[in-house]
A and B are shown apart, each in its own frame.
Chain A
Amino acid sequence: MDASNKKPGWRPSWWRGRTAVIGVPYFWLLLFFLAPFLIVANYSVSEMGAIRVENITSVVDGAVKLTVKYSNYVNLTADNLYWHAYLASLKYAFFTTVFCLLIGYPFAYFMARAKQALQPTLLMLVMLPFWTSFLLRVYAWKGLLDEGGWVADLITGSHFDRVLLWLGVIETQGQLMHTTFSLIVGMTYTYLPFMILPLYANLSKMDLRLLEAASDLGATPWVAFWRVTVPLSKAGIIAGSMLVFIPCVGEYVTPELLGGPTTLMIGRVIWDENFSNNDPPMASAVAVILVLLIVVPLAIFNKYQVEAQEARK
């Protein structure tokens, strides 16, 4: 790119501009996204030496020698802690997605069917939480669910905590913070807009004549909803679910602030391996497996995004 800039007339001028526009972000992503990733993969097959990480390549008698160490991955499979953390992350992310969908779908539906003049305002009201700090939104629940918080008082006052205890999401009656319950509430709260927005975008574009056709053909509104509206909003459901599920799996802040000793999630394991145990190779191995776990939902998400973009053209 630099060489071509110094030689005017070497290529047509639009070519140079184009190369720079593509080249700069491309180079940037290779350096700060791909390279760090390869380093993580490299670390995951290294081991902690006495002071620093031992390199997997070493020069012995003038030849480069490659020593790949699988010990991190062996530890991963041997220690129950990691499996529990992976499973727990998937489980909590799944339930958060389900609750977001249960609250978000009717919400997006009624939003899309509200008066046309009202819709921009409603949309802005859903967007606003995006602008407020994620950290502070999580922290807000600490005050609500801690002993004496008004939501906690409401739940214990109505004896709803007995139901929660029976469901096994809290351990002792009246103690709501640092439980599975507080974790799921916190994550559902912070990720709800991510579910509503793609669903609203999808539902508001739906052709309402299809519902008229369904009713002309004798479908009750309830049947038409389940057999026309819901199947047509499949892309929105998938986009919203993935936007909630994928980040939830690797969530760190919410489990740290609202979760308890029993709610170990994989984001916290990576954090602890790196900061508390000072073992970046182990943290890298845990991270590599986490990436493999989210690749599948990511591929599904990408496929539907591409299809949606094709449909727009």
Chain B
Amino acid sequence: MKNRAIFGTRFAKGFGRAWLVGGFLFLYLPMVTLMIFSFNHSRLASHWGGFSLEWYAKLASDTEIINGLWLSLKIAVTSATGSVILGTMAAFTLVKYKRFRGRTFFTGMVNAPLVMPEVIQGLSLLLLFVAIQHATERFDGGFPERGFFTIWLGHLMIGMSYAAVVIQARLQDLNPQLEEAAMDLGARPWQVFRLVTFPMITQSLISAWLLTFSLSLDDVVASAFLSGPGATTMPLVIFSRARLGLDPSVNAVATVMIVIVAICVALASVWVARAERRRAAEISAAARDDS
């Protein structure tokens, strides 16, 4: 492998290394600073006043944050699960079914939410729900009431597109001969999916789930448009506090969130690595049996 930098000289190597280190410092230092200051004794978020856990202690009795976190987690788990199911179907459609009426249109609709400004998505879904509510006003004052359900639908809408893209990338790399072989051996389409395709795309399903989970857990704009009285998700609480200025309680929540997400990602990657290893072992065992 030839790895020659621009000049191939020691200077270029050093320059490249410095640029990478500088880039990573730029990416990570702000977050590290944010976490360090959650242990700050001083109320002034920019002055170090000694180590303290008081903001975490205050967090434990902060019902606004705790209720928000609980609601956010419920929405994130359910919408990520829904996103992965719908996203798998959409990805399957895009990869496997090359010819059906309106395919280009379908592709456009799957990809559009990835780049559409969230302000527009939030506004358009809000107006849809308002319209439905007007149409059903006669029954019980209209449906759906803005809150958990509407936020969940909004996150599902956005998450589906992200899930579809992640799963689509994996499906494209699969060897179609494996599925064809299963079909030749008499497996029905559902069995082919469950026994052959599904185990091969599990890893991408997990990354899609984690991605849509973290997107939902983080969403401000769509949630703000779709939330109703009493349904304030955690990012909305954080956002309204951050708008007013620096708030040490936000630093503490931020640290807790980052740790939660880091643990989830680490656990998932360990699990995926183990599953991959088991699969590789099974495949080589099967190959040994054959010969």
Contact = CB atoms under 8 A, between A and B. Distances in A.
A164 interface: no
A140 B172 contact: no
Nearest to A124: B269
Contacts of B262: 131
B93 A136 contact: no
Interface string B190-219: 100000000000000000001100100110
Contacts of A132: 31, 258, 261
A131 B123 contact: no
B115 A133 contact: no
A140 B242 contact: no
Interface in A30-54: 30, 32-37, 39-40, 43
Contact of B6 (A147, A222, A246): A222
A305 B258 CA distance: 33
Where chain B touches its partner, the secondary structure class is: helix
A143 B46 contact: yes
B77 interface: no
B128 A22 contact: no
A212 B235 CA distance: 51
A157 interface: no
B124 A143 contact: no
Contact of A147 (B3, B46, B210): B46
**Chain A interface extent, by class:** 35 or more
A137 B31 contact: yes
B4 to A, nearest CB: 7
A69 interface: no
A143 B90 contact: no
A74 B225 CA distance: 26
B46 A148 contact: yes
A291 B123 CA distance: 13
Where chain A touches its partner, the secondary structure class is: helix
Nearest to A108: B23
Interface stretch (B55-63, B105-113, B280-288): B105-113
Contact of A250 (B100, B119, B172): B119
Given A25-B89, A33-B109, A222-B7, A110 B120 contact: no
B160 A25 contact: yes
Interface stretch (B13-21, B140-148, B174-182): B13-21
Interface in B2-45: 2-8, 16-17, 19-20, 23-24, 26-28, 30-31, 33-34, 37, 44-45
A158 to B, nearest CB: 16
A225 B6 contact: yes
A103 B127 contact: no
Contact of A131 (B24, B125, B265): B265
A116 interface: yes
Given A30-B109, A35-B128, A110-B17, 6 more contacts: A32-B125, A36-B128, A113-B5, A148-B44, A150-B46, A267-B119
Interface of A: 13-14, 17-18, 21-22, 24-26, 28-30, 32-37, 39-40, 43, 103, 106-107, 109-111, 113-116, 122, 125-126, 128-137, 139-144, 146-150, 152, 189, 192-193, 208, 211-212, 221-222, 225, 242-243, 246-247, 249-253, 256-257, 267, 270-271, 274, 280, 283-284, 287, 290-291, 294, 298, 301-302, 305, 312
